[in-house]
Amino acid sequence: MRHTIHTMKKGDKAIIKDFDIDLVPLKLLEMGCLPGNNVELLQIAPFGDPLYLDINGSHVAIRIETAREIEVELIEVHL
């Protein structure tokens, strides 16, 4: 199964694999959203969107439509 930030559950940790550069804003890259970096899903907003992430030590919130584009590899699943 293809995992993206969107398919992660709260508390999951993953490594960013790949994404289509045209669909992800430059600002997010500058915040540390780059292949190989860690990402943890910290909180999900009350109506399921946006997602509150820890990317490479930066705390940011993004919308699902962006999260869907960022492929990840799960490394730690929250129980």
Partner 1 sequence: MSVQNINVALIGNPNVGKTSVFNQLTGLNQQVGNYPGITVEKKMGFCKLPHNFKANILDLPGTYSLNASSMDESVVIELLLNKNDKLYPDVALVVTDVENLKRNLLLFTQIKDLEIPTILVINMADRMEQKGITLDIEKLEERLNTKIALVSSRKGLGIEALKELIVTYKTLSCEPCTIVSNIDPEYFKRLHSTFPDQLLYKLWLVITQDVNFLKLERNEIRSTFTRSHSDLKRLQQKETIKRYQFINEVLKEGLQVDASVARDFRSKLDRVLTHKFFGYLIFFAILFLIFQSIFEWSALPMDFIDTTFADLSAVAAEKLPSGILTDLISQGIIPGIGGILIFIPQIAFLFLFISVLEESGYMSRVVFLMDKIMRKFGLSGKSVVPLISGTACAIPAIMATRNIENWKERLITILVTPFTTCSARLPVYAIIIALVIPDKRIFGILNLQGLTLMLLYLLGFGMAILSSYVLNKILKISGKTYFVVEMPNYKMPLFKNVAINVIEKTKAFVYGAGKIILAISIILWFLASYGPGEAFNNAETIVKEKFEAQNLSELELENEIASQKIENSYIGIMGRAIEPVIQPLGYDWKIGIAIISSFAAREVFVGTLATIYSVGGTDNEATIKNKMQEEVNPVTGQKIFNLASGVSLLLFYAFALQCASTLAITKKETNSWRWPIIQLVLMSGFAYVTALIAYQVLH
- In the complex, least distance from residue 7 CB atom to partner 1, rounded to whole angstroms: 18
Residue type, 24: V
**Interface with partner 1, residue 32, by CB under 8 A:** yes
The single residue among 1, 2, 26, 79 that binds partner 1, judged by CB under 8 A, is 26
- In the complex, least distance from residue 39 CB atom to partner 1, rounded to whole angstroms: 14
**Interface with partner 1, residue 43, by CB under 8 A:** yes
Strand ranges inside 1-79, DSSP E: 13-19, 38-44, 51-55, 58-62, 70-76
